[in-house]
Amino acid sequence: MLSYTEENYLKSIYKILSFDHKTASTNAISKAIQTSAASVTDMLKRLAEKELIHYEKYKGVTLTVRGERIATSLIRKHRLWEVFLVDKLNFSWDEVHDIAEELEHIKSNELINRLDNYLGHPKFDPHGDPIPDENGHFTLRHQICLVEMDAGESGVIVGVLEHSTPFLQYLDRLKLKLGVNIKVIEKFEYDESIKIIIDDREEQILTQKVVQNLLVQKA
Amino acid sequence: MLSYTEENYLKSIYKILSFDHKTASTNAISKAIQTSAASVTDMLKRLAEKELIHYEKYKGVTLTVRGERIATSLIRKHRLWEVFLVDKLNFSWDEVHDIAEELEHIKSNELINRLDNYLGHPKFDPHGDPIPDENGHFTLRHQICLVEMDAGESGVIVGVLEHSTPFLQYLDRLKLKLGVNIKVIEKFEYDESIKIIIDDREEQILTQKVVQNLLVQKA
DNA sequence: TAAAATTTTTAGATTAGTCTAAAAAACAGT
DNA sequence: ACTGTTTTTTAGACTAATCTAAAAATTTTA
């Protein structure tokens, strides 16, 4: 049985590894979970002791199979709870992260499987992130970042790369939500902004920052 | 902001006080939460420091207004989650206690109020226990223990005094659940058992132990 | 490749929550 | 009211998770 804290370390390591890195460094972890590097070192020793991570002094860490299973199970719980909060309790997509962060630590597997069933086995959460199944497998999707789309191409918004409340609220203001159809009208090299048309109706200029954080499934 | 442990102490003290006692003794608390009396004394000092309980050495404790508000809010959360688990996720009434015990510590008030709304503002949980409202007020109900009923009287089962899994499963076997109509046919002084008829159809003998733990609303 | 900068680990301390053993206070029975 | 039992508190210690400061290892840069 793992503590709340140990679970958070594993999830954090998983995220760092899945981002790009071959190994998760002490510093990267300490930044991610906002604790001192010294505390992280201590915890890494404990997690290695429990065979949840591979740890060699000064070399950074990777997850063992057991460690990865726990991490994906936490991500599964987090994302299913987010679906529940949005679909059933009508929270908006920018309000659910912190609550799900607590809910993901509830232990019962029976609970999470019944919840999954109740929600209709969703494959993606309210931000478009894939929900791993019981075995830790993610549904893959053909998606590209909006920056990679050329003028004239169109597609559907399926995800975001940034999850902050301000960004999500800003997207709401721009009427950009998951599922809307967009077509790239023009790309401005000058400031990397682009002009799109939303659902064949509304034209909009998107700044580079927005363009870099939207994921699209090409039509 | 209170810790998981502090919250459990407050809830435990609340339950002891609401049972019958004028004050909650160190020993009663230590039995309720399965920790040593010495640890309880330590915690009582901390809770008194935070003005959540009134504590005087060797005299037992009572809750302050703040302490009581926190306790009833925990009970509210626990019981609402139990309703969710039974009504929405189809758990049976004997499976939900431990899961709700974890869920009750999730912090968000917004969450619990939306959950309450989603569930249709239930006034009682799956075991017939009243769910306090946002201000800590319980819905009262005219109810008596089945032992107090005389032969010939009838009523509806509305609650249980014991919440253990074996007891609840045993009630299922006897086809006794909340809402069923019962009429007392005969009372046997010899072993304090009684004969009842359920929903005007099925006769059944109930032992003293069962009779003492059922709550009935008289017809 | 040697010096400088950065990262990581060690050392030592702190806090919350727990324990056992022993002392102190309260209660109960004659 | 005394004596014995029970309850409660104190004393001292342990573990998990954290911290700061300093030492050690690694990486970067010139």
How many Å apart are CA B129 and CA B152, to the nearest integer?
27
How many Å apart are CA B104 and CA B132, to the nearest integer?
13
Q: Calculate the angstrom distance between C1' of D2 and CA of B154.
A: 56
In degrees and rounded to multiples of 5, residue A89 shows phi and psi of -100, 5
How many Å apart are CA B113 and CA B53, to the nearest integer?
26
Q: Calculate the angstrom distance between C1' of D28 and CA of A55.
A: 24
pLDDT at A20: 72
B111 contact residues in A (CB cutoff 8 A): 85, 89, 99
Q: Which residues of B touch A (CB under 8 A)?
A: 85, 88-91, 95, 98-99, 102-103, 106-108, 110-111, 114-115, 118
Q: Could you list the protein residues whose CB lies below 7 A from any atom in strand D?
A: A 3-6, 34-36, 38-39, 42-43, 46, 58; B 25-28, 37-38, 40-42, 44-45, 55, 57-60
pLDDT at B1: 87
- Closest CA to the C1' of C24: that residue is B58
How many Å apart are CA A25 and CA A6, to the nearest integer?
16
CA B71 to chain A, closest CA, distance in angstroms equals 20
Q: What are the angstrom distances between the C-alpha of B218 and each of B132, B152, B174, B181, B203?
A: 23, 11, 20, 10, 19
B108 contact residues in A (CB cutoff 8 A): 98-99, 102
pLDDT, tens digit, for every residue of A20-71? 778 999 999 999 999 999 999 999 999 999 999 999 999 999 999 999 999 9
pLDDT at A116: 98
pLDDT at B21: 75
User: Is A99's CB within 8 Å of B111's CB?
Assistant: yes
How many Å apart are CA B6 and CA A183, to the nearest integer?
55
User: Is B118's CB within 8 Å of A91's CB?
Assistant: no
Q: Going residue by residue through chain B (219 aa), what tens digit of pLDDT does each one get?
A: 899 999 999 999 999 999 877 899 999 999 999 999 999 999 999 999 999 999 999 999 999 999 999 999 999 999 999 999 999 999 999 999 999 999 999 999 999 999 999 999 999 999 999 999 999 999 999 999 999 999 999 999 999 999 999 999 999 999 999 999 999 999 999 999 999 999 999 999 999 999 999 999 998
The nucleotide closest to A41 (CA, C1' atoms):
C9
pLDDT at A19: 86
Contact (CB, 8 A) for A194 and A210:
no
How many Å apart are CA B149 and CA B127, to the nearest integer?
20
Q: Could you list the protein residues whose CB lies below 7 A from any atom in strand C?
A: A 25-28, 37-38, 40-42, 44-45, 55, 57-60; B 3-6, 34-36, 38-39, 42-43, 46, 57-58
pLDDT, tens digit, for every residue of A97-155? 999 999 999 999 999 999 999 999 999 999 999 999 999 999 999 999 999 999 999 99
pLDDT band at residue A219 under the 50/70/90 scheme? confident
pLDDT band at residue A8 under the 50/70/90 scheme? very high
Distance of CA B77 to the CA centre of its chain: 13
Nucleotides of C under 7 A from a protein CB: 7-12, 16-22, 25-26
Structure tokens at A192: 């990397």
Residue A82, classified by CB atoms within 10 Å of its CB into exposed (0-12), middle (13-18) or buried (19+), is: buried
Q: A23: helix, coil or strand?
A: coil
Cβ-nearest to B106 among A90, A103, A115: A103
Residue appearing with tokens 């909006």: A146
